[in-house]
Amino acid sequence: MLTSQLVAEIALLALAVAVRVVTVNRLVKRKLLLTLVAGLASLAGSALSVAGLIPPDLVADVAGIDTLLVALAAINFVVVVSINPLREDRIPVRFPIIVQDAIIVGLFAVVATSVLPGKFLTTSAVGAVVVGFALQDTLGNAFAGLAIQTEKPYRAGHWIRVGEHEGRVEEITWRATKLRTKSGSFVIVPNNVMSKEAIVNYSEPIIPTRMTVDVGASYDVPPNEVKAAIAEAIRNVPLVLASPAPDVLLLEFGPSAVIYRARFWIEDYASDDPAKSQVRTSIWHVFRRRNIEIPWPIQVQYSREERTGRPPDTTPRIAASLAQVDVLQSLTDADRLELAALCDQRLYATHEVVVRQDAPGNSMFVVSSGTVEIVLEPDGRPLAVTQAGGFFGEMSLLTGTPRSATVRALEDCTMVELTSEAFRRFVLEKPAVLDVIASAVMKRRTEISQRRSETATAAMPAESAMSFLGRVRKFLRIPT
């Protein structure tokens, strides 16, 4: 009987060693250590008994402990090997470690009570009471952990908030749930706290998370204009998802401002702060461009006249920007100052779209500072990169045709915008300028057209200089 147990123990140990060698699953390797330790301990007991080295009055007790150890080793082996994949290094979703441990402990308790009913029951009853009192908190945590694993209100990798703690779930153990906060530190929340607190899971039921940003705008601007400005600002932020679509609500009429709420979705909750910051930055730029004021409390008094007028040094600065542009080189300083007085300065934030392909347009932009890229939709194929001194949008300025490409700011940019109407007024006073500028633009257009056909991008129809000039005159209503 003892020798057959010895053989069984050796066979079990050999099997455990073989599986540990064959498997790539690190969890299986680790868990089979218990089988090896329990198996070796029972093997040692059996060997001592066979050799007659155990005092006669202890033989029965040692045999009982041996049987329990073999049972533990065998149950652990069977559960670990049957639940976990041996050829992959992963833990099955339905059987996390904590559940596997619970199965092993449960089966062992059943086997132990049936193998050694009398003795085991008395000793285990006393032991359970002692252990129960000593480990009240630990057991509470363990059962809460088990409940969390079976109910799965969150899983490793999810972003959750529990009480005042927010973080990504790194690990769920018997005792606690480990969260990694946005600042990179760990918060270890005991499982019984997790089971009592309300949990907000940002990663379920859907992955994108909705963010909100509140902003105050002047009472002077119609709400739809402000909403359109905020919507444009949100569209320009790369971290914001296009779908589900963002929206803007008028939240309240505050004491010094109308408060709007921008609602938008992001892919990864970890980037909520950067996304909100980008949206706020973009809103600032769009508001500044559209002359929408973000008012501060009304108690702070300021003179409106001082703020709304154009600062006195703007026109010379615009004239200096225009002087950098090759097609405007032929103008005199006085001409450029006159033209500058008709232009406006615009600020664009990184990633913002300045003009969108196929959108109607009637203005040209001169880049005063920063860099823009010109791309062809729908696949965003790059056409050119333009820096300070460069210009774009001349086609719509001169002919009123829809924008032929999309232009996006690669960094924060300052631009000078010249509208068709302002250009028309300027040209009516200085007709000679039109020929010079239109032929410079025509030259550039021919170069672009050649480059497009070389790179097999959408070709531009060939057009003679005369026909182009005619088209420009017609659009600008300038007599020949």
For binding to ligand CMP (CB under 6 A), which residues are involved? 355, 361, 374, 383-384, 392-396, 403-405, 407, 448, 451-452
Q: Collapse the DSSP code of 11 into the 3-class scheme (helix H, G, I; strand E, B; otherwise coil) and give the result.
A: helix
Q: What does residue 370 show for φ and ψ, rounded to 5 degrees?
A: 95, -175
CB of 472 to ligand CMP, least distance (A): 13
Q: Collapse the DSSP code of 258 into the 3-class scheme (helix H, G, I; strand E, B; otherwise coil) and give the result.
A: strand
Helix axes 136-151, 97-115, angle to 10 degrees: 120
222 vs 378 by CB, closer to ligand CMP: 378
173 vs 357 by CB, closer to ligand CMP: 357
> How many of the other CB atoms lie within 10 Å of CB of 36?
17
19 vs 407 by CB, closer to ligand CMP: 407
Residues in the chain: 480
Closest CA relative to residue 338, chosen from 322, 350, 352: 322
Burial of 378 (0-12, 13-18, 19+ CB in 10 A): exposed
Q: What does residue 301 show for φ and ψ, rounded to 5 degrees?
A: -90, 140
120 vs 392 by CB, closer to ligand CMP: 392
CB of 222 to ligand CMP, least distance (A): 28
146 vs 388 by CB, closer to ligand CMP: 388
141 vs 404 by CB, closer to ligand CMP: 404
Instruction: Provide the H-helix boundaries in 300-430.
Output: 304-308, 314-323, 333-341, 394-399, 420-429
Contact 375, 417 (CB under 8 A): no
**DSSP states of 366-391 as a string?**
EEEESEEEEEETTTTEEEEEEETT-E
Q: Collapse the DSSP code of 263 into the 3-class scheme (helix H, G, I; strand E, B; otherwise coil) and give the result.
A: strand
Which tokens hold the place of 306? 């001082």
CB of 350 to ligand CMP, least distance (A): 19
Q: Where are the beta strands (DSSP E) in 121-185?
A: 159-162, 165-172, 176-180
The letter for the amino acid at 319 is A
CB of 376 to ligand CMP, least distance (A): 7
The angle subtended at Cα 322 by Cα 318 and Cα 323, nearest 5°, is 115
How is residue 461 annotated by DSSP?
A: P
- CA–CA gap between residue 253 and residue 283 (Å, rounded): 19
Q: Collapse the DSSP code of 320 into the 3-class scheme (helix H, G, I; strand E, B; otherwise coil) and give the result.
A: helix
161 vs 356 by CB, closer to ligand CMP: 356
CB of 444 to ligand CMP, least distance (A): 8
72 vs 407 by CB, closer to ligand CMP: 407
What's the Cα-to-Cα distance from 320 to each of 337, 341, 369, 416, 440, rounded to whole Å? Answer: 9, 12, 12, 11, 19
142 vs 355 by CB, closer to ligand CMP: 355
CB of 403 to ligand CMP, least distance (A): 4
**378: preceding bond cis by omega (within 30 degrees):** yes
CB of 340 to ligand CMP, least distance (A): 20
49 vs 236 by CB, closer to ligand CMP: 236
CB of 310 to ligand CMP, least distance (A): 25
